[in-house]
Amino acid sequence: MSGQLRSHSLPLAALLALAAAPFLGFGDGFALSLLARAMILGMAAVSLSLLIGGAGLVSLGHAAMMGVGAYTVVAFDAAGVSEGVIVFPAAIAAAALFAFVTGAVSLRTSGVHFIMITLAFGQMAFFTASSFSSLGGDDGYTLYARTEWLGTRILDSRLTFHFLCLALLALVWLGCSLLLASRFGRVLRAAKENPQRAQAVGFQPYPYRLVAYTLAGAVSGLAGALLANASEFVSPALLSWTRSGELMFMVILGGVGPLSGAILGALTIVLLEEWLSHLLVYWRLVFGPLLVLSVLFLHGGLIGVIPRTRAALRLLPWTRRNANA
Amino acid sequence: MPDEPLLELNGLCKSFGALAVTSDLSLTVRPGEIHAIIGPNGAGKTTLIHQISGTLRPDRGTIRFVGRDVTALPFERRARLGLARSFQITSVVPGFTALDNVALAVQARGGSSFRFLRPVSGETALNDEARAALDTVGLGRVANTPAGALSHGEKRQLELAIAIAMNPRLLLLDEPLAGAGPEETERLVGILRDLRRRYGILLVEHDMQAVFALADRISVLVYGRVIVTGTVDEIRSHPEVRTAYLGEDALA
Amino acid sequence: MSMLLVQALNGLQFGVLLFLVAAGLSLVFGVMDLINLAHGVQYMLGAYVAATLGVWTGSFWLGALLALPVALLVGLALEWLVFRHLYRRDHLSQVLATFGVILTVEEATRALWGSAPQTVLEPMALTGGPLGGVEIVSGLLYPTYRLIIIGVGVVVPLLLWFLVERTRAGMLVRAGATHPAMVAALGVDIRRLFTVVFAFGAMLAGFAGALASPIFPVAPGMGDTVLILCFVVIVIGGVGSIRGAFIAALLVGLLDTIGRAMLPDALRLVLDPSAARQTGAALASMLVYIAMAGILFFRPAGLFPGARA
């Protein structure tokens, strides 16, 4: 147990810091909306990490699922419905359905095919969103109001929204971690590492992968609905494939193995982007090379930095003497 | 009906282009017997295993297993019916512990695996069964070692443990001794000897000493067809086998 | 009817451009097992360089010609800097690193040329007579320049076919795609082969960009759209198959172009105009992907399954 605690120490610290942030001088509207964004993208990144790290499914169309969630909120808003009890389940269900249908086709392939097809489906969603002129088309759609809960405008408080996102992020992390440790997760992981072995004992990977893909879609749908509320604005850019690439970067930067890496990755990237874009006009000239360098050199991601550093320290002569003493 | 065969191949044919790798092949495995298949390289042994396990579809012929026609069933469905296969090149899940590898097989035959929130490490019944299978092959002490870190011989044993944990009717063993050292071979032969009678075993093996020590019946496969099936003694003395298999030896 | 003919020609011409980009992408993937998202960047650079040099030299054709060596050099530089370190890495790392290259190069383009689209005049458009347009049916002129692009689509595939099937280098490429270890063991410098294939693919994409510059808006994101459609082309055609890429590219080009032009009008027969416009546009943009899904459902490895899955 203590070992588990240690391996999760970094993400737990991050969650605690997020809980404390509003009271440590980050309580203004700007900081809170930035953190909310980071947490929401963190949820989507955790669900993508479940696919990549847990099931070995490298999806490059994950932003589309978020987009379906967000556009469900938009569609209800345009129809004059903003009751969360209706809107949120609908957004989650719509994204799950989208994931189920596209997954049913994509999962018939594997490897590079899968990457290309998920990307293609993501792009399909993007163009579809741009072509609905009644929902703003290319220009996007500004929400009339944030989603209500049983008629109360509870989400309008930035602080409440902050803690709601934090709680949901923790819940998503916990849920996905449990999922990977369950019977279902074991089949998924076995099929990733050695599909032949999984089949030899009697498991056909396809249905397990499809369920995982659908669940990840549902989580991303939730993230999308929250994101629509956070910015009160939705545009097709939310579904663009660069957004999918960014989510993937979050997962890899944080570290593929443990799901908590995705949370670290999301926080790091959202804050880094924000900082760089304040510093420079053409900030991607720095961000892009950073991405390339981190892929080439940072094996195991941020989450692996602590154990690696500790291992490196152990090799130094003076620490070794201390350890012996 | 004790005499009804566990596995029955009938007129199996498979060609790759013009090359017939299995031609009009028929054989049976009875409950509780070790039926070994021997033959020179290129005789089509591995292709046959693929067809029996369901990773390759025969062009013609039928495969009956536990009394039903499984010719059209995929690999994993046959596995669920009780057909456990080991691989010529060891196939375990390297990132799982030895115990998890076996528990995966136990899980496959007991209860739904669409259970999402209960950590599987807490399922004692499941893990106990897995541990018992590990003990059967003598791997109890490395239960918590990642399978990828086991020695070659231990991985071989682990594959057997996985097969046993499936609670199968028939073990389909594709060269289980390949690449094992003399001591490991001795241990594996010992394990196989203990397993006989509990399962039907179809054994493809190059190690003749082991085959002659273990098999109840032997089929000799040459160019995709069975040239003879018989007991160990019958095979030893069969002239055609001596020519096909022992080559110059028989001419001398 | 003549409307349909014009759209079909436009579709063919789009298909040819897609093929030029997809061929390089497919070769690079087939030979090096590298999934290169940044291939679209070469297309974009080809267009920008052709646009700029065309203005400098005062001749579109000179600009387009000069775009070839520039695309080649940029491709070589990127290969040396980034891609060669990715050949042994998993597809996930390849996707991400090449994604990083896209972000960087597109941002650099924005910094150099600005975000607004560049305009390139269609060559020969203002000339009268047969150089300006060809009368395809009575009373309907189709721009000669666009017919030239379609002509390129006949010449380049033939050239590629000759290179791959009839030359020593092509033989190595084919062998390298199926048995890389064997080819290396036979003493072929597989690294150099990779570099050559890569550079060639980059040049083809740059050429496509240069040809496209008068027709499509020259803007920083132009490579992405084409890249993703090229993935669709490769998936439909079968990874590593040039023939498959050619057929699939024409298919995608035609479907996309004709769908966009015709669907909204066609739907007007059953829906009211505003609904028809929206649904038609949405459906048209989905058409290619639906076709892809349909083809994959029946043939998961594409129409012409290539050497590598």
| pLDDT bracket for residue B251 (50, 70, 90) | very low
pLDDT score at C208 = 92
Note the pLDDT tens digit of each residue in A76-125. 999 988 888 999 999 999 999 999 999 998 998 888 889 988 998 998 89
Length of chain C: 309
Question: Which of A4-18, A28-42, A194-208 is predicted least confidently?
Answer: A4-18
DSSP A50: I
Kindly give, in sequence order, each residue whose CB lies less than 8 Å from that of residue C277, ignoring residues fewer than 6 positions away: A133, C264
Q: What is the pLDDT of residues C167-179, one digit of tens each?
A: 887 787 777 767 7
Chain C residues lying within 8 Å of A242, measured CB to CB = 99, 102-103, 224
Neighbouring chains to C with at least 3 Cβ pairs closer than 8 Å: A
Asked if B119 is an interface residue toward chain A (Cβ–Cβ < 8 A), one would say: yes
Angle between helices C190-212 and C60-81 in degrees, nearest 10: 150
Mean pLDDT across the stretch C216-233?
A: 89
Banded pLDDT at A324 (limits 50, 70, 90) = very low
The H helix count followed by the E strand count for chain A is: 16, 2
The crossing angle, in degrees rounded to 10, of helices C222-237 and C2-32 is 80
Sequence-ordered list of residues with C-beta below 8 angstroms from that of C168, at least 6 positions apart, any chain: none
Report pLDDT for C104. 94
Strands B170-174 and B83-86 come out as parallel
Question: What average pLDDT does the segment B92-101 reach?
Answer: 93
Which of chain B's residues have a Cβ under 8 Å away from the Cβ of A197? 91-93, 101, 104, 162
ipTM value of the model? Answer: 0.86
- Tell me which chains share at least 3 CB pairs under 8 Å with chain B: A
The more confident residue out of A132 and A54 is A54
Res. A51: pLDDT tops 60: yes
Contacts of A193 in chain B (CB under 8 A): 93-96
Half-sphere exposure of C81 (CA within 13 A, CB side): 13
Alpha carbon distance C97, C38 (integer Å): 9
Q: Which residues of C264-289 are buried (b: 16+ CB within 10 A; e: fewer)?
A: beebeeeeeeeebbbbbbbbbbbbbb
What tens digit of pLDDT does each residue of B153-176 get?
889 889 999 999 998 999 999 888
- How many domains does chain A contain in total? 1
- By percentage, how much of chain A surpasses pLDDT 70? 93
Q: Provide the pLDDT for residue A276.
A: 93
- Sorting pLDDT into bands at 50, 70 and 90, what band is B1? very low
Q: In this predicted structure, what is the pLDDT of residue C127?
A: 61
Shortest Cα distance, chain C CAs vs residue A276, angstroms: 13
Distance, CA of A134 to CA of C92 (rounded, Å): 37
Chain A interface includes B237 (CB < 8 A) = no
Lowest average pLDDT, out of B54-58, B239-243, C166-170, goes to B239-243
- A60 at interface of C, judged by CB pairs closer than 8 A: yes
CA nearest to A132, candidates C284, C256, C269: C284
Contact A202 B166 (CB under 8 A): yes
A285 touches chain C (CB under 8 A): yes
Q: How confident is the model at residue C250 (pLDDT cuts 50, 70, 90)?
A: very high
Pick from B131-145, C117-131, C241-255: least confident: C117-131
* pLDDT, average across residues A252-263: 86
**Residues in C touching A291 (Cβ below 8 Å):** 96-97, 99-100, 103
Question: B105–A187: do the CB atoms touch at under 8 Å?
Answer: no
- Residue C305 or A213, more confident: A213
Q: Is the pLDDT of residue B234 over 80?
A: yes
pLDDT tier at C181, thresholds 50, 70, 90: confident
**% chain B with pLDDT above 70:** 95
Q: Is the pLDDT of residue A214 over 50?
A: yes
Cβ–Cβ of A245/C285 closer than 8 Å? Answer: no
Average pLDDT over residues C34-56: 91
Residues spanned by the domain of A267: 2-324
Whether C187 shows a pLDDT value over 50: the answer reads: yes
Tell me if there are at least 3 CB pairs under 8 Å linking chains B and A: yes
Contact by Cβ (8 Å): A124, C289: yes
Q: What percent of chain B has pLDDT over 90?
A: 37
Pinpoint the alpha helices (H) of B1-151.
45-53, 75-81, 98-109, 124-136
Burial A10-41 (b: 16+ CB within 10 A, else e): bbbebbeebeebbeeebeeeebbbbbbbbbbb
Average pLDDT value for chain A = 88
Separation CA B52–CA B30 (nearest Å): 15
Tell me which of A276-290, B8-22, B202-216, C167-181 is least confident. C167-181
Q: Which residues pair with B22 in a beta bridge?
A: B14
* pLDDT attached to residue B3: 64
What pLDDT does residue B245 have? 64
A26-35, A41-50, A141-150, B53-62: which has the highest mean pLDDT? A41-50
The mean pLDDT of chain B is: 87
More confident residue, A25 or C111: C111
Who wins on pLDDT, C182 or C266?
C266
Complete DSSP assignment for A168-180: HHHHHHHHHHHHH
Of B74, B76, B84, B80, nearest in space to B29 by CA: B84
pLDDT at C286: 85
Residue A37 and residue A43: Cα distance in Å, rounded?
A: 10
Instruction: Give the rounded distance of the alpha carbon of C308 from its chain centre.
Output: 21
Domains of chain B and any CATH numbers? 7-82+168-251 (3.40.50.300), 93-152 (no CATH)
Per-residue pLDDT, averaged over C276-288, amounts to 83
CB burial string A157-168: b at 16+ within 10 A, e below: ebeebbebbbeb
The H-or-E segment that residue C279 falls in is helix C273-298
Residue A203 has which token pair?
């498991």
pLDDT at B86 over 50: yes
**How far apart are the CA of C250 and the nearest CA of chain A, in angstroms?**
18
Query: Which three-class secondary structure state does DSSP give residue B125?
Result: helix
Q: In A21-157, which residue ranges form alpha helices assigned H by DSSP?
A: 29-49, 55, 62-78, 84-106, 111-131
pLDDT at B248: 46
Cβ(B93)–Cβ(A197) under 8 Å?
yes
Nearest to C300 among A109, A116, A134 (CB): A109
Q: Which helix (H) or strand (E) holds B22?
A: strand B19-29
Task: Give pLDDT tens digits for B123-144.
Answer: 888 999 999 999 988 898 999 9
Q: How far is the C-alpha of C175 from the C-alpha of C193, rounded, in Å? A: 11
* Model pLDDT, residue A318: 54
Give A261 to chain B, closest Cα distance, Å: 19
Dihedral pair phi/psi, residue B38, rounded to 5°: -120, 170
Asked if B23 and B13 touch (Cβ cutoff 8 Å), the reply is: yes
**Burial class of residue A87, CB neighbours in 10 A (0-12, 13-18, 19+):** buried
Q: How far apart are CA C23 and CA A95, in angstroms?
A: 34
pLDDT score, position C308: 42
Chain A residues with CB under 8 Å of C105 CB are: 288
SS3 for C307? coil
